[in-house]
Amino acid sequence: MADRPTPPWADQIPEGGFISYGPTYKVGQYFDRFVTDWFTASDGTKMKYYFFDPTGYGWPQKGDYPILIFFHGTSNALVGDTCINYTGAELYASDEYQKRIGGAYILIPVANEYRDETGRCQGFWSKEYIEPADELVQSVIATRTNGVGTRFAFGNSSGARFVFRIADAHPENYDVLIPVGTSDVSTEEKIAEFNARDMYLLYSICKRDEFNKFETDVEPKLPRLKAMKHCTIFNPEWVYNGDGGVASIMGGIEMGQHCLMNAVQADLRLDNGKPMYEILPNGITGYIAEVLAERRAAGLR
């Protein structure tokens, strides 16, 4: 496309490959399945959140559905309801994804982001949000559900870093971590604590992530993560869109390979239904279903 800049890696894509300039799924088709509300934490922090309840869409009332908690990336709170999609959560509210999982609540906490006088995004996820965000999660579980089973914490980019930070502080409240696109992982001491609690980790980052240099920022930390009993490492060579093309997104800087969450939202499936990657042939919904079965068999929440 003539109006699109050529990615710096264009000459490196596999032979016969092509560049794809956006996800192929429709954005916004499930926004109306999410209710919007506000929560005020004990320290006075007021935060918006989006919530999906499967029992409003044909699933029976019961007390052990999993809850999928999605933490968005930096500046995603500034796009209104499109934040639902940018977190990677939207399609998980679809009938198809819900059926693959067996029903699940979805919660999207929203940071209080804003643009400063220079146009830079401020107010994104930081340590100051740990307690308010955790309180929000616990309040929603207590007031909007009939009880939950396994608690999954997803995160995209800075939201992925926040997944590690909130789990570091409150490992008792999160069972499965799915951070996508961060090199800022937990310490060996925290990993040992996660192990003691039988936590699961699906660590996902592309080897060509534009913001995290794999050889120096990511690869040296993988042995630490692999020390977890229940750890899956997902480091694809390329990020793909549903049309099978290598993903290119120009956000002031080329960041298509950083946006692996788009593929996660597509359930790691191409538009023709074939898996994008051999390591997770049943997609993220398949991973969730397998983890739920394992944890139930082991008597875990």
Report residue 278's pLDDT band, with 50, 70 and 90 as the boundaries: very high
Q: Report the length, in residues, of the chain.
A: 301
Q: Can you list the domains of the chain with their CATH numbers? A: 10-297 (3.40.50.1820)
Phi and psi at residue 188, to the nearest 5°: -60, -40
Structure tokens at 98: 């819900």
- The two structure tokens encoding residue 63: 């007390």
Mean pLDDT of the chain: 97
Strand ranges (DSSP E) for the chain? 19-20, 35-40, 46-52, 65-71, 105-110, 114-115, 121-122, 148-156, 176-180, 200-204, 230-234, 246-247
Residue with tokens 């694809």: 236
Gap between the Cα atoms of 56 and 66, Å rounded: 15
Position 7, amino acid? P
Residues 6 or more apart in contact with residue 127 via CB below 8 angstroms: 165
C-beta of residue 226 within 8 angstroms of C-beta of residue 146: no
CA distance 178 to 267: 13
pLDDT category of residue 4 using cuts at 50, 70 and 90? confident
Can you give the pTM of this predicted structure? 0.97
Strand-pair category, 46-52 with 105-110:
antiparallel
- Taking only the tens place, the pLDDT of each residue in 88-100 is 999 999 999 999 9
> What would the pLDDT profile of 205-215 be if each residue is shown by its tens digit?
999 999 999 99
Read off the pLDDT band of 1 (50, 70, 90): very low
C-alpha span between 137 and 149 (Å, rounded): 14
Report whether pLDDT(66) > 60: yes
Residue 6 reports pLDDT greater than 60? yes
